[in-house]
Structure 1
């Protein structure tokens, strides 16, 4: 691996980390990866593990999350079918599982963070702390919405997940894309690096190569258009100390236009099946 970028945990601790690149895979890795990685999630404002909606940015996040639930279900219907058994890994506060069940789906979830599991339980959703706690069954659909980048041992954990998908099953992975326009604009301040919680930083090439080696093929890619605006807004704060709404809006628009031309959006959903 070779040096790519030096950045910080802008969200909470301010600690510095280095991103190293695997040129063959077009993959970045956060180094060092802390032994106590779990402690970097233990902050009351870490929004993926709470349903906080106090600040304007948090309200925007929660609104986008609610809107995206319907979109995610439609993607599953398009690529996999209807009335299937779904496993959502890294389920956070259980919103997606709750939504699917309200729509008649069979859905289970995994979430290692106890605070998030507690929030999910208030919605009537019981999440398991690890894949090992899920009954030994296979699923028609497995979803990872901005989760894969958090895995400490990427190869081992991906193998464990793939073993839970049926032979004709479908895998959905949402990931930030460090090849996007907004990533280039903000550099070390790009919020989606989110070190060290994001151990890995993937590109379209790395997804295709990593899963291709395991016999899986990308059959579809969809942009997450709202992400460019949300990530740009956070990045503006990290870079300048405040939310610059107009700059973030303009960067988000340009990033999506760049994605439309090149296929390199700020965040993307990859749909995979066995080759």
Structure 2
């Protein structure tokens, strides 16, 4: 596979191992692939860190406080987005739900919720907020076909191995008139271009894939799911820049990070290439 693609850049795992990985450019799909990808039985080792922020509710430092502030603001927007779909039974599946904040928000708004979270500690926290509505990854195979009005993956798709198989599974459990919502980092954003190998959203090797708008559209249309809308996640530029500054210079440098995040959002007003993007997809024939 490697010799059919060109090396885009080499990035380092700043969180756990310190290892370097190549990002290979797939010209056909306009996306990047992390190489080599850890074997399935080894992948969980790269998540074994108290600093892996989506698996904790702690607020020990500036970075974690900013993360939770951004998450709090994002939750309101996420709920508003799924409410606009006018789902008949308000059945929601959130894959990779972390500590369950989005599910908890949806539950309070009378959604019928189900969550999937592979990491045990995060799953326990999520279940304490959701009346035990969160299950391990093996539960995905037990879900009833065409049973969810909305399936959401908030910064999760980039973590999943066997990408095409996963997309088939999403389609299988989505109702014919349902909506799939996917948020992922955008390697074509200004902050990605600025920080290059230090861009925190590469997050190798936990992020196996790095998507463009073309990649999302092409990958999902193969399974009969058509891209309906692309929306920005503007706050991500600030958080990602803050962490990228830490990787690049050894400290967060919040003033510079804010400046880069602001520049990224300003440039994206014209290019539409925000730091992270939300993709809304539906069956192609609906």
TM-score (norm. length: structure 2): 0.93
Which aligned pairs between 1:66-145 and structure 2 lie closer than 5 A?
66-81=72-87, 84-123=90-129, 124-130=131-137, 131-135=140-144, 138-145=147-154
Q: Counterpart in 2 of 1:205?
A: 214
Structure 1: 5+ residue stretches without partners: none
Does the CA contact (< 8 Å) of 1:172 and 1:269 recur in 2?
A: yes
In the TM superposition, residue 34 of structure 1 has moved relative to its aligned partner by 1.2
Q: CA deviation at 1:178?
A: 0.2
Query: 1:53 pairs with 59, 66, 80, which one?
Result: 59
Q: Which deviations, in whole Å up to 9, do the C-alpha atoms of 1:125-156 show, x marking residues without a partner? A: 43111212445562010000000000111011
Distance 1:92 1:43 in 2: 14
- 1:38 is aligned to 44
User: Which has the higher mean CA deviation after the structures are superposed, 12-21 or 77-86?
Assistant: 77-86
1:13 and 2:20 aligned = no
Correspondence list, 1:198-237, <5 A: 198-237=207-246
- What is the Cα deviation at residue 202 of structure 1? 0.4
* CA separation of 1:82 and 1:71: change in aligned 2, threshold 3 A: farther
Runs of 5+ unmatched residues, structure 2: none
Select between 66-75 and 125-134 the one with higher mean Cα deviation.
125-134
How many correspondences in the alignment? 275
Report Cα offsets for 1:154-199 as digits up to 9, x if no partner: 0111111111101111000000000000000000000000000000
Q: CA deviation at 1:83?
A: 5.2
Contact 2:171 2:223 in 1 (8 A): no
Structure 2 residue aligned with 1:156: 165
Contact 2:88 2:149 survives alignment (8 Å): no
Measure the CA separation in 1 of the matches of 2:150 and 2:21: 35
Q: Distance in 1 between matches of 2:252 and 2:132?
A: 34
Q: Mark the CA change 1:8 to 1:84 in structure 2 (over 3 Å): closer, same or farther.
A: same
Which deviates the most, 206-215 or 129-138?
129-138
Contact 2:159 2:207 (8 Å CA) reproduced: yes
Q: TM-score, normalised by structure 1?
A: 0.97
Give the C-alpha shift of residue 87 in structure 1. Answer: 0.4
SS of the counterpart of 1:167?
A: strand
Root-mean-square deviation over aligned CA pairs: 1.3
CA contact (8 A) 1:175 1:269 kept: yes
Tell me the residue number matched to 2:68.
62
CA contact (8 A) 1:117 1:126 kept: no
Q: Deviations over 1:196-254 (max 9, x none)?
A: 00000001110011112221111111100100000000000100000111111111011
